[in-house]
């Protein structure tokens, strides 16, 4: 029956899922399942336990929401790509302007034989005023953020409340989004949320010399994701200590990779490193014998299996 879970078993999770698909007469993209028991192979074939899962068909509303979510992620990715191309072009133009300005300044300096103290003071005062003009007030920053986001959400036919706060300690601007169906804005592993944050940062910092750091969040996703990654890092470290084999994590963005590195940086037995190229760059957790060269493998194994 639709929206009701059934329990299915198999020799493995994959086999149990296959059996569930047969019973529900559908495909894997239209099923939601939970692992009840991962099962076990036992010892030399004895004491084996089958894997068990609970599965049900997705409702039409869930399928529709996932389709909308995928469309949102695609639109956000395309917008990010366009914004990056535009930013690269603007950076190239700015570099050309800077080179021309430097050449003009060098020619002017060569032509000038002397500079009076008054001219130096006037130039310093002018530079100070320019820097002051480059700094935005909190009101201007908030206006840029809310205007951009509200226009974007209106075009997406979404009613989202935007709350802007300023964190002097971390020197950043916190932007919190609230409303219905915020999962659509988070996206897979926060990719849609990261894209919106990136676009918002481009809008706020356009034409400004002093960079304003933007931290965009909804439903406390950033903290929840950090806790999940820290827990994952510790579990993987424990696995590496027991098996003495390196483990590669799924691809992550630079912010999430830093969380994993930080979570394990004080571990006495394992270390971490990043491998691969973006967007497939990932963290590898490995047993670092240089951290504890005097401990043999047996000591390490016994220590983490007490």
- What digits encode the pLDDT tens for the residues 185-222? 998 888 899 999 999 999 999 887 788 999 999 999 99
- Contacts of residues 148-152 at CB distance under 8 Å and 24 or more positions apart, as own/partner, are 148/199, 148/200, 148/203, 149/175, 149/177, 149/196, 149/200, 152/196, 152/199
Q: Establish if 179 belongs to a structural domain.
A: yes
83 and 201 share one domain: yes
Which has the higher per-residue pLDDT, 31 or 298? 31
What CATH number is given to the structural domain containing 192? 3.30.300.20
Asked if 61 contacts 70 with a C-beta cutoff of 8 angstroms, the reply is: no
Residue 295 has pLDDT above 70, yes or no: no
Q: Has residue 243 been placed in a domain?
A: yes
User: Binning pLDDT at 50, 70 and 90, where does residue 122 land?
Assistant: low
User: Domains in the chain: how many in total?
Assistant: 3
Query: Of the candidates 165, 195, 219, which is a domain's last residue?
Result: 219
Contact 114, 232 (CB under 8 A): no
What's the rounded mean pLDDT across residues 130-159? 84
Same domain, 238 and 158: no
Residue-range definition of the domain harbouring residue 110: 64-219
Q: Is residue 1 part of a domain?
A: no
Average pLDDT estimate for 103-111: 78
Residues 70 and 215 in one domain: yes
Please, which residues have CB within 8 angstroms of residue 221's CB and are 6 or more apart in sequence?
186, 190, 193
Asked if the model's pLDDT at residue 133 lies above 50, the reply is: no
Residues 22, 79: one domain?
Answer: no
| DSSP helix, strand, coil percent of the chain (3-state; round to 5) | 55, 20, 25
Q: What is the mean pLDDT of residues 99-117?
A: 74
Which residue did the predictor score with more confidence, 83 or 230? 230
Band of residue 105 on the pLDDT scale cut at 50, 70, 90: confident
Say whether both 83 and 125 belong to one domain: yes
- Cβ contacts of 16 within 8 Å, gap of 6 or more: 8, 9, 10, 50, 51, 52, 53
């Amino acid at each position: 029956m639709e929206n009701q879970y059934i329990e299915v078993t198999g020799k493995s999770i994959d086999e149990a899922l296959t059996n569930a698909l047969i019973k529900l007469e559908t495909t894997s993209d239209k099923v939601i399942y939970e692992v009840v028991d991962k099962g076990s192979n036992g010892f030399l074939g004895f004491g084996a336990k089958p894997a068990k899962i609970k599965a049900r068909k997705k409702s039409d509303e869930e399928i529709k929401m996932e389709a909308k979510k995928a469309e949102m992620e695609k639109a956000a990715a395309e917008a990010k790509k366009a914004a990056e191309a535009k930013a690269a072009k603007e950076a190239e133009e700015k570099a050309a302007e800077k080179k021309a300005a430097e050449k003009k300044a060098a020619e002017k300096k060569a032509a000038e034989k002397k500079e009076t103290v008054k001219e130096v003071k006037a130039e310093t005062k002018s530079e100070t005023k320019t820097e002051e003009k480059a700094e935005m007030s909190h009101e201007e920053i908030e206006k840029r953020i809310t205007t951009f986001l509200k226009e974007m959400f209106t075009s997406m036919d979404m009613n989202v409340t935007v709350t802007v706060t300023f964190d002097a300690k971390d020197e950043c601007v916190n932007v919190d989004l609230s409303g219905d169906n915020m999962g659509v804005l988070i996206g897979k592993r926060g990719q849609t949320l990261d894209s919106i944050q990136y676009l918002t940062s481009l809008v706020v910092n356009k034409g400004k010399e002093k960079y304003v750091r933007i931290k965009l969040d909804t439903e406390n996703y950033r903290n929840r994701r950090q806790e999940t990654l820290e827990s994952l890092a510790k579990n993987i470290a424990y696995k590496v200590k027991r098996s003495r084999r390196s483990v590669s994590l799924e691809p992550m963005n630079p912010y999430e990779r830093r969380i994993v590195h930080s979570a394990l940086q004080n571990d006495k037995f394992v270390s971490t490193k990043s491998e691969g190229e973006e967007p497939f760059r990932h963290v590898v957790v490995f047993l670092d014998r240089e951290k504890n060269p005097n401990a043999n493998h047996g000591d390490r194994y016994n220590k983490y299996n007490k």
